[in-house]
Amino acid sequence: MTACSAPAQVPQFDHVVVVVMENHSFSQILGNANAPYINGLAGENANFTQSFAIEHPSQPNYLDLFSGSNQGVTDNSCPHTFNVANLGGQLIASGFTFAGYSEELPAAGSTVCSAGTAPYTYQRKHNPWVNFSDVPPESNQPFTAFPSDFTTLPTLSFVVPNQCHDMHDCSVATGDAWLQANIDPYAQWAKTHNSLLVLTWDENDSSIPNQITTIFVGALVVPGQYGETINHYTVLATLEALYGLDAAGAAANQTPITDVWDTTVFKGGFELE
């Protein structure tokens, strides 16, 4: 008689927040004394030691992470409009909620290509959801709208710091301090409120390979160093699996991450055949 393994499981979180930082390789962040907060997260939570971006430059990677494809965009041009499957649209169509919070976005629903004063600028190239026709304007919010009462967060949201705080135009230490001041309150809350933080980078510094830091923090996360190879498509497939959504684009070719969850305390979720 052949033994059959049980289907893998993924949880369903009340809230997920995905924070995307900029243009630093794994080795520039992990082990860097100028990033004590991030290194603390990596040591106490799920740290993916073989995480990779898909390509260069920035904008295609954001589109990859949000929709499983760069949608034919291979540069940082603006604007674009797409009518294809994407994480935000899928969540909304399935009865969940979505929002993206961009620092320096001048107003909710704004479609401008850039705003702010350097280096503290908003750049639409870092905001993929504004490009998709099934994501409504009210889902495109400035970071000033990010709630202090985390129970009021959407089901899933993205946070994109400005070009200084995301490490694009300012130091690793500056970005690390911003994360500790602005994201750590949610990270700590998530651990006891069935919620999850995903901290990742869009791409590395253009060195080979395109290795980046990705850390999962929150309830049901088993701390450790995880060595399986993942990329933006893997993370997208995992986020979609958490809510029973079909995998978009190249995410359909990836296996969702299942080995970081404490399945003994699941309150709900989905089985993956």
pLDDT tens for each residue of 156-179 = 999 999 999 999 999 999 999 999
Q: Is residue 148 part of a domain?
A: yes
Q: Is residue 197 part of a domain?
A: yes
pLDDT tens, position by position, 24-55: 999 999 999 999 999 999 999 999 999 999 99
What is the Rg, in whole angstroms, of the alpha carbon atoms belonging to the chain? 17
**Residue 195's CATH number:** 3.40.720.10
Q: Is residue 167 part of a domain?
A: yes
Q: Is residue 81 part of a domain?
A: yes
Residues in CB range of 271: below 8 A, 6 or more apart: 7, 8, 9
* Structural domain harbouring 124: 8-272
Q: Is residue 60 part of a domain?
A: yes
Q: Is residue 59 part of a domain?
A: yes
pLDDT at 2 over 50: no
Q: Is residue 2 part of a domain?
A: no
Confidence class for position 273, pLDDT limits 50, 70, 90 = low
Total number of domains in the chain: 1
Q: Using DSSP, state whether 213 is helix, strand or coil.
A: strand
pLDDT tens, position by position, 128-138: 999 999 999 99
CB 18 within 8 A of CB 214: no
Beta strands in the chain (DSSP E): 8-11, 15-21, 46-52, 98-102, 114-117, 120-123, 140-142, 156-160, 195-201, 211-218, 224-226, 230-231, 269-272
- pTM for the model: 0.96
pLDDT tens, position by position, 232-268: 999 999 999 999 999 999 999 999 999 999 988 776 7
Query: d(Cα 271, Cα 188) in Å, to the nearest integer?
Result: 27
Q: What is the pLDDT of residue 6?
A: 56
Q: Is residue 3 part of a domain?
A: no
pLDDT higher at 47 or 7: 47
